[in-house]
Structures are given as structure tokens and as C-alpha cells.
């Protein structure tokens, strides 16, 4: 009988571990469903291509899944995924040649021209400034969340934002205002 009790004890030790793994997998599933649309929108704002944006979002979430035991415990896991997605999107933009302008029956709007100019200007920023701009304005994270995601202080985030916006103003033109960055959310 004692052997049966020992065997039963071992079985019960195995059972909680599998439940824990199941709970961890369910946690990622809920996270995935919640963050996927936001990740696709952020990637689409950067790439301008819905198909590439989906690939970028899936890649970022695959990396999160591979590291879920660590990432799942982060308070700023949303920012982590958005940071990975923005890096992947910008990497994709550097790899592909610029798309030729499309022939349309109507003139392109100023917003589209501005968007193309901002994407080009973002690609010219130093990596940390680019990440800060993307996370703060395109992913709508607070300065505190951006600081957590990048592992820097809030003051460093403000410095990067100030320098990046000054560079964007210089590269895009004097008409550039912070308000234009928020129009990219459309």
C-alpha cells in the first residue's frame, strides 16, 4: 500500500506542473488575442502594407511566445511586443526598395504624402530615437511605459523625443508639428 501512496504522490506532483503549463499557454492565448490587432495596426502604420504588417505582428508575437516564461511576467509586455514589432517593421523597410508611386485617378492627399515623408524621416533617425517615437506616438504608450520598454529613465525618453522631433521637423519641413504624428493613427 505504501508504494501506491508514493505512486499517487508522484502523479499528483506531475499534475500541477501540467496545469501550470496549461495556465501559462492560456495566458499567452488571451494576451495574443488582445494584442494582435494593436500590433498589426502599429506595424501597418510603419510599413504601409497590410500583408507585411501581419507578418511583422506574427513574428513579434512568435518571439513573445518563445520567451513567454519571461515576457509573460513583465508589467510592460504590451510595450515589449510593440517594440519588437516596430524594430521588425523598420528592418523590413530598410530591406525593401521604395515602392514606385501608384497611378491613381485622383491626387494623393496631403496625409499620404506626409505619411511617406515621416516613414522616410523615421528610418533616418538613430535607433533609440526611432524606437522612442514609434512607441510613444504610433503605439500610444505613455512616456513611463516607453521608459520601461526601453529600459531607460523617463528623462532619457524625453530627451530622445525632443531630439527626434527636432530632427523630424528639420527633415520633413518647418510645417511639421507633433499633431501630425497623431494623425498617423488613422
Q: Where are the alpha helices (DSSP H) in 124-174?
A: 127-133, 143-150, 154-172
CA distance 66 to 73: 13
Specify whether domain 99-186 bears CATH 3.60.15.10: no
pTM value > 0.85? no
> Residue ranges per domain, the chain?
1-96, 99-186
Reduce the secondary structure of 23-44 to three states and give it as a string. Answer: HHHHHHHHHHHHHHHHHHHHHH
What's the rounded mean pLDDT across residues 91-109? 62
Residue 104 has pLDDT above 60, yes or no: no
Whether 1 shows a pLDDT value over 50: the answer reads no
Q: Encode pLDDT of 2-60 as tens digits.
A: 444 444 444 444 444 444 454 455 588 888 888 899 899 888 888 888 888 899 999 99
| Cα–Cα distance for residue pair 11/161, rounded to 1 Å | 55
Buried b (16+ CB within 10 A) or exposed e, 152-177: eeeebbeebbeebbebbbeebeeebe
Instruction: List the end-to-end C-alpha distance of the chain, in Å, as a whole number.
Output: 69
Express each pLDDT in 121-173 by its tens digit: 888 889 899 889 888 888 888 888 888 888 899 999 999 999 988 888 887 76
Identify whether the C-beta of residue 136 lies closer than 8 Å to the C-beta of residue 146: yes
Burial of 43 (0-12, 13-18, 19+ CB in 10 A): buried
Amino acid at each position: 500500500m505504501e508504494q501506491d501512496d508514493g505512486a499517487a504522490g508522484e502523479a499528483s506532483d506531475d499534475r500541477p506542473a501540467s496545469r501550470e503549463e496549461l495556465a501559462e499557454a492560456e495566458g499567452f492565448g488571451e494576451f495574443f488575442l488582445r494584442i494582435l490587432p494593436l500590433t498589426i495596426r502599429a506595424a501597418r502604420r510603419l510599413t504601409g502594407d497590410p500583408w507585411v504588417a501581419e507578418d511583422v505582428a506574427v513574428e513579434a508575437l512568435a518571439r513573445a511566445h518563445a520567451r513567454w516564461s519571461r515576457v509573460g511576467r513583465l508589467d510592460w509586455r504590451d510595450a515589449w511586443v510593440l517594440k519588437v514589432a516596430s524594430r521588425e517593421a523598420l528592418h523590413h523597410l530598410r530591406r525593401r526598395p521604395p515602392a514606385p508611386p501608384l497611378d491613381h485617378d485622383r491626387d494623393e492627399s496631403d496625409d499620404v504624402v506626409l505619411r511617406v515623408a515621416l516613414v522616410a524621416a523615421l528610418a533616418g533617425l538613430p535607433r533609440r530615437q526611432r524606437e522612442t517615437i514609434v512607441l510613444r506616438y504610433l503605439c500610444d504608450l505613455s512616456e513611463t511605459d516607453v521608459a520601461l520598454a526601453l529600459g531607460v529613465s523617463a528623462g532619457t525618453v524625453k530627451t530622445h523625443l525632443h531630439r527626434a522631433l527636432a530632427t523630424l521637423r528639420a527633415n520633413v519641413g518647418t510645417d511639421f508639428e507633433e499633431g501630425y504624428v497623431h494623425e498617423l493613427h488613422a
